Amino acid sequence: DAKTTQPNSMESNEEEPVHLPCNHSTISGTDYIHWYRQLPSQGPEYVIHGLTSNVNNRMASLAIAEDRKSSTLILHRATLRDAAVYYCILRAGAAGNKLTFGGGTRVLVKP
């Protein structure tokens, strides 16, 4: 499985944007970039995914570098509820393939 590298932790102030970087220099052409987050005492939840183009949804935006070797998850206005561990995962092909979790980034949101 292709590997991702994320910072261990990041801090943000409430209502400010958060930019979470992820490096995946060994990504293959068929790998999708997925982001999940895990709130305290809960199972992970899907945030967003993309292949080549930037993606937006109600939770976040995903900016993918042109060479696809890195990506950035953007939380536009952090709330206290966004405090979680965020995982950047490369998933081979389309749905049906396993997720391999790395260490993730622990996001702390300060009021």
Partner 1 sequence: SAVISQKPSRDICQRGTSLTIQCQVDSQVTMMFWYRQQPGQSLTLIATANQGSEATYESGFVIDKFPISRPNLTFSTLTVSNMSPEDSSIYLCSVDRTVYNEQFFGPGTRLTVL
- CA–CA separation, 72 vs 103, rounded Å? 16
Identity of the residue, 14 or 46, whose beta carbon is nearer to partner 1 in the bound complex: 46
- Shortest spacing between CB 14 and partner 1, in angstroms: 26
Q: How far is the CB of 101 from partner 1 (least distance, A)?
A: 4
Give the three-state DSSP class for 77: coil
Q: Minimal distance in Å, beta carbon 1 to partner 1?
A: 10
CB-based contact 80:67 (threshold 8 Å): no
Q: Which is nearer to partner 1, 32 or 61 (CB)?
A: 32
Interface positions with partner 1 (CB under 8 A):
32, 34, 36, 42-46, 49, 85, 87, 94-96, 98-104
Measured CA to CA in angstroms, residue 66 lies from 3, 20, 25, 34, 71 at distances of 18, 17, 12, 17, 9
